Amino acid sequence: MKFVRYTIDTPYPVGPVHLYLFERRGELILFDAGPPTHENYLFFRKNIQLDKLMYVFITHSHADHCGGLKFLSDNSDAQLFVPKKDILKNRLHKIILPHYERIFLSFGFPDNVIKEMINVFSSFKKQTVIPDNVKAVEESKLLEIIKFIPFPGHSISDLTYIVDDRYAITGDFLLNGIFQTPLIEIDPETMDLFDNYAAYCMSISKLNTLSNMTILPSHSEVHSPHEVTKFYVDKIIKRASFVHECIKEECTVYDMVKRLTDTLNDPFKAYLKASELVFLKSFVERPDLLKNALKNIGLLEEFYERIENFQNSA
Please check whether residue 257 is in contact with residue 277, taking contact to mean a CB–CB distance below 8 angstroms. yes
Per-residue confidence (pLDDT) for residue 260, from 0 to 100 = 85
pLDDT of residue 187: 97
Give the bridge partners for 21, in sequence order. Answer: 4, 30
Per-residue b/e over 256-270, b at no fewer than 16 CB within 10 Å? bbbeeeebbeebbbb
Could you give the 3-state DSSP secondary structure of residue 27? strand
Give Dmax (Cα) for the chain.
62
pLDDT at 314: 65
The yes/no answer on whether domain 3-313 falls in CATH 2.40.50.100 is no
- The 8-class DSSP code of residue 265 comes to G
Band of residue 177 on the pLDDT scale cut at 50, 70, 90: confident
pLDDT band, residue 263 (cuts 50/70/90) = low
Main-chain phi, psi angles of 179, to 5 degrees: -90, 90
DSSP state of 139: G
259, pLDDT greater than 80: yes
CA atoms within 13 A on the CB side of 134: 27
Q: How far is CA 263 from CA 26, 120, 268, in A?
A: 49, 14, 8
The pLDDT-based confidence of 271 (bands split at 50, 70, 90) is very high
pLDDT in tens, 183-222: 999 999 999 999 999 999 999 999 999 989 999 999 988 8
Q: Report the pLDDT value the prediction gives residue 208, as an integer from 0 to 100.
A: 94
The sheet carrying 79-82 orders its strands as 3-8, 17-24, 27-31, 53-57, 79-82, 135-136
Model confidence at 164, pLDDT cuts 50, 70, 90, reads very high
Rounded Cα distance, 234 and 283, in Å: 12
pLDDT in tens, 70-82: 999 999 999 999 9
Percentage of the chain with pLDDT > 70?
99
